[in-house]
């Protein structure tokens, strides 16, 4: 209470209420009041039932039992919350009380500045006046402190600028102040103890292994098994994942139909998706059936079913790539010829050894077929790795959109405008099969398909409008002759390889291209380099093999191979100052 107030005085009404309370009544302090009335001596205050000149009510915001028959009550007068008006002198301050809920409210005790200088109150002004008054009463009394009506109290978030951040205070309903709950965000842990809420960081402290679905046979307990990949990702959002820790989502075999998934965890580079390992069937013969079917003879047909998405590996280029089983008769499997080219059917039988009919048993398909969303979007933070999956986008925008760093190993991709789209650095490993896409493998900035000794890399791209497209640089095979086991099989594409706008395609591995309308197409100041490391490519049953236009350059090293058809003619400038060098 301001120092210019004299000691608070019992009024006669206050003494009456105190006596009634001692006789068994309930003494209720209802509010404070401030006024501008003048008094000369304490005796002037005794007979008052109300302030001499009341100006405003003040809500009692706190009651504290101090012991020894004393109660401390507090209140605050905030000028900014008062309707603007003329200033007045703060000369008197009182406590209003009543006996019982139905009693008449009267002045219990009062303080006045008497002859001292008062403070000034300016309604609508910037000042705040805080009061604490100690009331004397018998300890045995039943005392209640009431808070005033809804117009008497409010709360605000400070600073008031909303751009600073959210506020804890939400609003008020009547006399109830409403505060927003604190919610654990990504990597945040809230510890609610008796006298404080501690905000800490929730970290992954060991390499996590999560499992999808809940019936995954390898899940050690129910708390790490989830119904879907999205549920597992939502769980990981509770944690920060340090760079020295990983979280692997193990997905079992079967078909999982998903809604589009966005990997928006800030630590997505520490997250890995892992499916069931590839299944391979040994092939002894591949023969033509008709323009849209081929017959594959295997040594074991166990587990194969009509409609299964597979791919032929290590075979002649015209047969290699993704296919679906259309019929099974013993060990003879009829599969589709996936095709977008306009070339004559490839019919040369392949009865050599080392051929495989393979598939990835963990199959992801997409619910949203509007063509506007990607199956899995890694554009914001990338992903650590994706291994052992078959993806079918059902004709949607994209299967795997990786505009940040990502490692993709052993996957098959079907039916998308963009099958695999690279970002900062997209690394392809193992065996990759992409088919029936507008753009099979597209580079945003840099795509690298290198073997990691002694493991080879095989890329199978078939039935795409553009098999491999360069919006950024693409490197197939290591940039020297030390690693030359990387192979790229290109079959039945409109344009097998296309670069545009200052980008480069570099193939240090083997190119095996068959039944493409164009094998290598460089346009608008771009470059294609094939076989600079000494490999010999196999090219047959194509239309124009190499095409350059609009200030572009292609270099094709024969290394003992067949001379390709070229537009413009080899080693001759043409097509808007473009050049194809064959040597």
Print pLDDT tens along the chain (583 aa): 454 676 788 899 999 998 888 888 888 889 999 999 999 999 999 999 999 999 999 988 878 777 777 888 888 898 988 999 999 999 999 999 999 888 999 999 999 999 899 999 999 998 888 888 888 776 456 666 555 444 455 677 877 777 778 888 887 665 567 888 888 776 777 888 877 888 887 888 899 999 999 999 999 999 999 999 999 999 999 899 999 999 999 999 999 999 999 899 999 999 999 999 999 999 999 999 999 999 999 999 999 999 999 999 999 999 999 999 999 999 999 999 999 999 999 999 999 999 999 999 999 999 776 666 789 988 888 899 999 999 999 988 888 888 778 889 999 999 999 999 877 778 888 999 999 999 999 876 667 775 554 467 899 999 999 999 876 677 876 555 555 578 899 999 999 999 998 888 888 788 999 999 999 999 999 999 998 878 899 999 999 999 999 999 999 999 999 999 999 999 999 999 999 999 9
Q: Scanning the structure block, which residue is given the tokens 């067949």?
A: 562
pLDDT of residue 542: 97
Domain 279-359, classified CATH 2.40.30.20, yes or no: yes
Instruction: Tell how far CA 540 is from the center of its chain.
Output: 46
Domain residue ranges in the chain: 9-145, 254-269+362-582, 279-359
CB 416 within 8 A of CB 397: yes
pLDDT of residue 150: 43
pLDDT of residue 44: 93
Rounded Cα distance, 361 and 278, in Å: 7
Q: Scanning the structure block, which residue is given the tokens 């095709």?
A: 339
CB 469 within 8 A of CB 442: yes
Rounded Cα distance, 420 and 39, in Å: 88
Cα–Cα distances in angstroms (integers) from residue 108 to residues 14, 103, 114, 215, 316, in the given order: 4, 13, 18, 72, 103
Rounded Cα distance, 392 and 257, in Å: 10
CB 172 within 8 A of CB 150: yes
pLDDT of residue 174: 57
């Amino acid at each position: 209470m301001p120092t210019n107030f004299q000691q608070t005085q019992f009024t006669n009404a206050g003494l009456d209420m105190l006596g009634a309370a001692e006789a068994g009544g309930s003494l209720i302090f209802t509010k404070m009041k401030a006024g501008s009335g003048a008094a000369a001596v304490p005796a002037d205050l005794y007979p008052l039932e109300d302030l001499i000149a009341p100006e405003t009510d003040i809500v009692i915001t706190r009651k504290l039992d101090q012991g020894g028959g004393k109660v401390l009550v507090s209140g605050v007068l905030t000028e900014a919350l008062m309707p603007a008006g003329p200033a007045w002198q703060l000369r008197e301050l009182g406590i209003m009380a009543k006996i019982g809920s139905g009693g008449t409210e009267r002045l219990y005790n009062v303080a006045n500045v008497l002859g001292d200088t008062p403070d000034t109150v300016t309604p609508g002004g910037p000042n705040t006046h805080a009061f604490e008054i100690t009331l004397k009463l018998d300890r045995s009394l039943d005392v209640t402190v009431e808070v005033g009506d809804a117009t008497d109290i409010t709360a605000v978030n400070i600073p008031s600028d909303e751009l600073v951040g959210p506020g804890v205070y939400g609003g008020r309903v009547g006399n109830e102040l409403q505060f927003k709950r604190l919610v654990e965000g990504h990597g945040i842990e809230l510890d609610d103890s008796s006298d404080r809420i501690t905000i800490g960081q929730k970290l992954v402290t060991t390499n996590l292994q999560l499992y999808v679905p809940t019936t995954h046979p390898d899940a050690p307990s129910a708390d790490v098994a989830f119904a879907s990949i999205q549920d597992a990702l939502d769980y990981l959002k509770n944690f920060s994942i340090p760079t020295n820790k990983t979280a692997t989502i193990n997905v079992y075999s079967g078909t999982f139909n998903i809604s589009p998934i966005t990997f928006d965890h800030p630590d997505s580079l520490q997250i890995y998706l892992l499916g069931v390992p590839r299944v391979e069937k040994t092939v002894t013969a591949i023969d033509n059936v008709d323009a849209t079917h081929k017959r594959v003879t295997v040594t074991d047909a166990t587990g194969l079913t009509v409609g299964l998405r597979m791919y032929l590996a290590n075979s002649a280029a015209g047969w290699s790539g993704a296919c679906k089983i259309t019929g099974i008769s013993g060990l003879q499997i009829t599969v589709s010829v996936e095709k977008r080219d306009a070339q004559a059917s490839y019919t040369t039988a392949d009865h050599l050894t080392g051929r495989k009919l393979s598939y990835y048993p963990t199959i992801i398909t997409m619910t949203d077929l509007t063509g506007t969303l990607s199956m899995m979007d890694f554009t914001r933070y990338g992903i650590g790795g994706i291994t052992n999956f078959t993806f079918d986008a059902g004709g949607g925008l994209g299967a795997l959109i990786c505009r940040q760093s990502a490692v993709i190993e052993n996957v098959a991709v079907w039916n998308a405008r963009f099958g695999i789209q690279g970002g900062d650095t997209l690394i392809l490993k193992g065996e990759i099969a992409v088919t029936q896409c507008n753009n099979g493998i597209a580079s945003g900035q840099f795509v690298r398909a290198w073997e990691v000794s002694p493991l080879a890399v095989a890329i199978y791209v078939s039935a795409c409008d553009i098999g491999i497209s360069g919006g950024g640089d693409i490197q197939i095979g290591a940039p020297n002759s030390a690693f030359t086991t990387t192979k790229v099989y290109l079959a039945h594409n409109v344009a097998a390889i296309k670069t545009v706008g200052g980008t480069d395609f570099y193939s240090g591995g083997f190119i095996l291209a068959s039944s493409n309308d164009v094998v290598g197409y460089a346009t608008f100041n771009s470059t294609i380099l094939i076989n600079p490391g000494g490999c010999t490519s196999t090219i047959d049953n194509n239309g124009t093999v190499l095409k350059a236009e609009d200030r572009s350059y292609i270099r094709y090293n024969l290394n003992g191979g067949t001379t390709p058809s070229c537009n413009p003619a080899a080693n001759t400038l043409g097509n808007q100052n473009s050049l194809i060098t064959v040597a």
